[in-house]
Amino acid sequence: MSARPARRGDRVPALDVEAIRAQFPILATRMRGRPLVYLDSAASAQKPRAVIEALSRFYERDYANIHRGVYELSQRASALHDAARQKVARFLGAADAREIVFVRNATEGVNLVAHAFLEPRLGPGDEILLTEMEHHANIVPWQLVAGRRGAKVVPVPITEAGELRLEDIAERIGPRTKMLAVTWVSNVLGTVNPVHEIAALARRRGVPFLVDAAQAAPHLAIDVRALGADFLVFSAHKTYGPSGVGVLWGRAELLDAMPPWQGGGDMIERVSFAGTTFNEIPFRFEAGTPDIAGIHATGAALDWLEAVGLDAVHAHEEALVAQALERLSRVRGLRVLGRPRARAAVVAFTIDGLHPQDVGTLLDLDGIAIRTGHHCAMPLHERFGLPASARASMGVYTTPQEIDALGCALERIVARFA
């Protein structure tokens, strides 16, 4: 797998979207008597048969608790679990599988870093630098620790186009800045942020840097070693894997120096009432029984995505997003939020005279599933003076016909209701 998305001029294998779709059973279902047009992959992606079968096969043949039993079945489950961690490490280009911590979702990964890494280093008056385009998952955990420590969260503004400017970040980094956390891809604007440059800046200024890759992992090849950040999180469920599994990647030396967060089984070395010592990384951060089958199926999802090829996925989605922007521009009164130069497969919009909620409900009558509301990004909507928007997001299985169906349905809705 390449460490970077495809560029113009690269030869990228074309993606056979019909063959891909055939692997997603849910895409053959009908909604309200019509073929399902699923344009909400940024909220959660649908699952290929490889993932569904990995999950059911694991329960049928391989299931037992891990790292505990001496019996064969437990050892087999443990070996599959360890293999899944290796797969995630490979997917992220991590130097070492010890840098992969399994959590419930991206949100929990951010909370873990906020509590175990940042909170002990945070004092009154310190600052945590975020951006106006963050998902609540990359805002609220920082606010919670800031509140407890008398520190504050400082948002970096974004431009009208929906982009970050490096100088706006650089300007706000000062001696009190103890953390920088930025989304790689905005879940509303689709903006692909220059996280490599931001990481270089953070490094030069000695500020720990967390990348929220929840919306990047399904679309872009990741190589944490080339990236140069300190922490990165993503969720399996947006990456064609099961719900209930998330990943925190952290530099081994940082994880190693962090105290535990949650206590319980598996994260200890020795427990006595006189005191407890803790396990090594990553187990120190994995208290209790994890989603054993889900983690196994996450490995299957990443295998599947790598076999499709992230360069091919990226090229496919780039074409879809260009088509969507053109098609939606023909809908009367429709305004797309932001015009970032680099945009992943997400388009948020409003339509004059129509509430986004009504747009979503009317599209649903045509079997078209989009997201409406604030998309867990209230500060971003506030920045654009909007209470809400509608959002169409695409995935590896999205077709040009579906984008056209969205455009036609919106035109009918505007003609009737706007």
Q: Is 215 in the site for ligand PMP (CB under 6 A)?
A: yes
Residue with smaller CB distance to ligand PMP, 12 or 158? 158
Residues within window 104-123 making contact with ligand PMP, judged by CB under 6 A:
105-107
Q: Is 374 in the site for ligand PMP (CB under 6 A)?
A: no
CB-based contacts of 179, cutoff 8 Å, min separation 6: 118, 128, 129, 142, 207, 208, 209, 210
As measured in angstroms, the least distance from the Cβ of 206 to ligand PMP is: 25
Q: Apex CA 141: angle with CA 41 and CA 96, to 5°? A: 70
Closest CA to 320 of 129, 79, 38: 38
Q: Is 391 in the site for ligand PMP (CB under 6 A)?
A: no
Q: Is 187 in the site for ligand PMP (CB under 6 A)?
A: yes
Taking CB under 6 A as the criterion, the residue among 214, 334, 336, 403 binding ligand PMP is 214
Instruction: Give the strand pairing for 127-131 and 177-183.
Output: parallel
CA distance 345 to 192: 10
CA distance 244 to 246: 7
Per annotation, catalytic residue among 151, 313, 328, 376 = 376
Site string for ligand PMP, 154-173 (x = CB under 6 A): --------------------
As measured in angstroms, the least distance from the Cβ of 213 to ligand PMP is: 8
Q: Is 248 in the site for ligand PMP (CB under 6 A)?
A: no
Contact predicate 38/369, CB 8 Å: yes
- Whether 376 sits among the annotated catalytic residues: the reply is yes
Q: Is 376 in the site for ligand PMP (CB under 6 A)?
A: yes
CA distance 240 to 308: 12
CA distance 152 to 132: 15
Q: Is 183 in the site for ligand PMP (CB under 6 A)?
A: yes
Q: Is 135 in the site for ligand PMP (CB under 6 A)?
A: yes
Instruction: Give the strand pairing for 389-393 and 346-351.
Output: antiparallel
As measured in angstroms, the least distance from the Cβ of 70 to ligand PMP is: 35
Amino acid occupying residue 43: A
Residues within window 217-246 making contact with ligand PMP, judged by CB under 6 A:
235, 237, 246
Instruction: Give the strand pairing for 334-336 and 346-351.
Output: antiparallel
Q: Is 47 in the site for ligand PMP (CB under 6 A)?
A: no
Taking CB under 6 A as the criterion, the residue among 88, 92, 137, 151 binding ligand PMP is 137
User: What would the DSSP string read from start to end of 160-186?
Assistant: TTS---HHHHHHH--TTEEEEEEESB-
As measured in angstroms, the least distance from the Cβ of 397 to ligand PMP is: 19
Greatest Cα pair distance in the chain: 73
Q: Is 182 in the site for ligand PMP (CB under 6 A)?
A: no
Q: Reduced to 3 states, what is the DSSP secondary structure of residue 239? A: helix
Q: Is 40 in the site for ligand PMP (CB under 6 A)?
A: no
Residues found near ligand PMP in the complex (CB under 6 A):
105-107, 135, 137-138, 183, 187, 212, 214-215, 235, 237, 246, 376
Active site residue ranges: 376
